[in-house]
Structure 1
Amino acid sequence: MSGRSDPVLPAPTLQLPPAYPDRAAWGTAPHLRAWQTAALEHYLAQNAKDFLAVATPGAGKTTFALSVAAELFSRRVVDRVTVVAPTEHLKTQWAGAAARVGIPIDPAYSGRKGRTSQDFVGVAVTYAGVAANPLAHRIRTERFKTLVILDEVHHAGDALSWGEAVREAFEPARRRIALTGTPFRSDINPIPFVTYAPDPEDPGGALRSVADYTYGYAQALADHVVRPVLFMAYSGEMQWRTRAGDEIAARLGEPLTKDLTAQALRTALDPGGAWIPSVLAAADSRLTEVRRHVPDAAGLVIASDQDAA
């Protein structure tokens, strides 16, 4: 391990490239949207150590968090940033988005690695990576004035060890920002650094996260920040043979037993069957019609796994 101290790098500046509907790079926008500006102003006014932002998927949580980071760097409140994401893919996306706004962070860092290159002012890691070596992350957090961004923070409750590791690693942080797309309940594994209160809609009095700033789907839709998502319902006649050799027929959408429903759905979702191609053809026809009025309308196919996709 080198004995050299990490240099103080110049504060990053936001240089954000075109947003929806002009298809910006992930995590970037040419200027802050109204909700991002309001959330940033609220954050700076609150001046709290912990801040939970709930914003509907696609609204721009990444850009908001990076704008906070840039502001804190410029004010010298922090001099390092750690981004924690659920997956390897997302941490790499975070690193790319941060680099585009002048905040270089290392997505290849791990607790075993020790110091990172002097070219970086931060690191991007996964919750699993933090859980593998929370002490190493704590030491790094203590060495600097660190901002920690907890992306999709509800994932910190996926395993008890993850939540405990997040608390151990990032308790010394100068500032922490937690991001999520929806409020969440405490359930069995409460998430560190999140405030909870009884859910008024739950007769059992379950605890639900309390956000410092919320930007919901309805607001985002009204602001044209996200697109409307329509789910079309399709039925169909399914036929399959049981292990005993019996021929069974059922129609999706009609009352069936739990077992029959499961078998009918398995038959329907078999990519080698006849139903999936017919639904895709119907969806393509519908999308072609919609594109006469909305040229960049799109469809999304969600498959059970990569092979099926």
Structure 2
Amino acid sequence: MLRKWQSECADKAISFYKNQCKHFLCQATPGSGKTVLAAEVAKRLLDENKIDLVLCFSPSLSVAEGIKDTFSWKLNCAFNGGLGAIGASFTYQSLAYFPDSFWLMLKRKRLFVIFDEIHHCAGDTPESSNAWGEQVLVKLQHVADYTLALTGTPWRTDKAPIVMAKYSDPEGQIVCNYQYSLKQAVQDGVCRIPKITLIDNDNLSVTESNESKSFSSILDLLKHSDLSYQSILHNEKAMDYLLGLGCKKLNEIRSKIPNAGGLVVASSVEHAKVIQQTLIEKFQQTT
């Protein structure tokens, strides 16, 4: 069963396409169910015999695999690009490696293309685009009969325009055809209110050349010593302290929610492996 916002957005997208409009942009907060929405729109277009084929593009293999599973379930058919499949899910990287025969085949199909996390694709002309944006503009924009772009964050830190998006004049604000905000998702019980807790230490000491210095905070330490933030991240005592707090909090939560899990963000793959080993050996945590 669709959530209210998914049903509203799907209705609006279908109406949009029937009015001879081609590119629909939906902004919905992360975790709200954009993939199910996309599959619903695809299903309605197929049921109305408006399209023959569905292609989905996303930033990573894991996301592409999740999209494939959702579309297979929602459309009740194969979605692996094989014989008899109604479509397939790919990464943006793969666009550069399709053979000419693939593009010739698409020209003979009524095509619906879905762009997940479209903000990764930048540029309004091939010359000004990043690598993924160029592929979308040059190869996909003109062969698709309908397109659906999805994003949770419709902007880029480099201020470059998002591919195929429209912007207001003169404000330069992106124009979304449908928006579902975090506030709405929290009210609907779809997402939780994010809670960020900052942890500092008012009793830091550093020994250098047999001389010990004390600091009242991490900021104070960074300002008045030669230590870098990276050295704190990799400090064994600091890491044990923070991981210990995290494990303690997770155990509290698990008394109410037994299958709760934790997330640790590392600075590199090597750092992540050190953290993993610490969690296993010192805190008896599975990872």
Taking structure 1 as the reference length, what is the TM-score of the superposition? 0.73
* Counterpart position of 1:306: 269
1:143 corresponds to 2:127: no
Query: Which whole-Å deviations, capped at 9, do the CAs of 1:165-190 have from their partners, x for residues lacking one?
Result: 10122122011000111121595643
The CA deviation at 1:72 is 0.7
Report % sequence identity.
Answer: 28
**Bigger Cα displacement from structure 2, 188-197 vs 48-57:** 188-197
TM-aligned CA deviation for residue 127 of structure 1: 1.4
Cα distance change of structure 1 residues 103 and 246 upon mapping to structure 2, 3 Å threshold: farther
Secondary structure, counterpart of 2:270 in structure 1: coil
Select 1:184's aligned residue among 133, 155, 162. 155
Task: Find the counterpart in structure 2 of residue 32 from structure 1.
Answer: 2
Q: Which has the higher helix share?
A: 2
Cα gap change, 1:267 to 1:161, in 2 (>3 Å) = closer
Q: CA RMSD in A?
A: 3.1
Aligned-residue offset at 1:156: 1.1
Gaps of 5+ in 2: 124-128, 273-287
Q: Secondary structure at the match of 1:53?
A: strand
Tell me, in whole angstroms, the C-alpha distance in 2 between the residues paired with 1:53 and 1:304: 32
Residue 266 of structure 1: CA displacement? 1.5
SS in 2 for 1:308: helix
With over 3 angstroms needed to count, the CA separation of the structure-2 counterparts of 1:197 and 1:292, relative to structure 1, is same
Choose the corresponding residue for 1:100, options 50, 73, 79.
73
Q: Partner residue of 2:229?
A: 265
CA contact (8 A) 1:134 1:165 kept: no
The aligned residue for residue 191 of structure 2 is 226
Query: Relative to 1, partners in 2 of residues 1:297 and 1:235: Cα closer, same or farther, differing over 3 Å?
Result: same
The 8 Å contact of residues 238 and 250 in structure 1, kept in 2 or not, is answered as: yes
Using the TM superposition, give the Cα deviation of residue 289 of structure 1 relative to its aligned residue in structure 2, in angstroms: 3.1
Tell me if 1:51 matches 2:24: yes
The 1:150–1:260 alpha-carbon spacing in structure 2 relative to 1, beyond 3 Å, is farther
In the alignment, what sits opposite 1:17?
none
Cα distance in structure 1, aligned partners of 2:99 and 2:135: 5
What residue in structure 1 maps to residue 249 of structure 2? 286
| Equivalent-residue separation in structure 1 for 2:183 and 2:88 (angstroms) | 34
- How far residue 152 of structure 1 moved from its aligned partner, in angstroms, is 0.5
CA drift at 1:103: 4.2
CA contact (8 A) 2:29 2:185 kept: yes
Q: Are residues 155 and 103 of structure 1, via their aligned partners in 2, closer, same or farther at CA, if it must alter by over 3 Å?
A: farther
Shift of 1:143: 2.0
* Structure 1 pair 283–186 and aligned structure 2 pair: CA distance change class (3 A): closer
1:236-247 alignment to 2 at 5 Å?
Answer: 236=201
Q: Does 2:182 match 1:209?
A: no
Tell me the SS of whatever aligns to 1:302: coil
Describe the superposition over 1:12-52 as per-residue Cα deviations: whole angstroms up to 9, x where unpaired. xxxxxxxxxxxxxxxxxxx1111111111111222231111
Residue 265 of structure 1 aligns with an amino acid whose one-letter code is Y
Equivalent residues of 2:118, 2:163 under 8 A apart: no
2:35 paired residue number: 62
1:194 paired to 2:168: no
Give the counterpart of 2:137 among 167, 170, 182: 167
Q: In the TM superposition, what is the alpha-carbon distance from 1:160 to its structure 2 partner?
A: 2.0
**Aligned counterparts of 1:240 and 1:138: Cα–Cα separation in 2:** 62
Distance 1:186 1:141 in 2: 34
8 Å CA contact 1:105–1:123 kept in 2: the answer is yes
Aligned length: 261
In the alignment, the residues of structure 2 paired with residue 294 and residue 59 of structure 1 have an alpha-carbon distance, to the nearest angstrom, of 21
SS in 1 for 2:85: coil
Letter in 1 for 2:229: L
Deviation at 1:246, TM superposition (A): 8.6
- In structure 1, the residue corresponding to 2:42 is in which secondary structure? helix
- Whole-Å separation in 2 of the counterparts to 1:282 and 1:222: 30
In structure 1, the gaps of 5 or more residues are: 1-30, 107-115, 201-206
Identify the residue that residue 121 of structure 1 maps to in structure 2: 86
Report the 3-state secondary structure (helix = DSSP H, G, I; strand = E; otherwise coil) of the residue aligned with 2:40. helix
**Counterpart-to-counterpart distance in 2, 1:246 and 1:165:** 59
Q: Which amino acid aligns with 1:67?
A: E
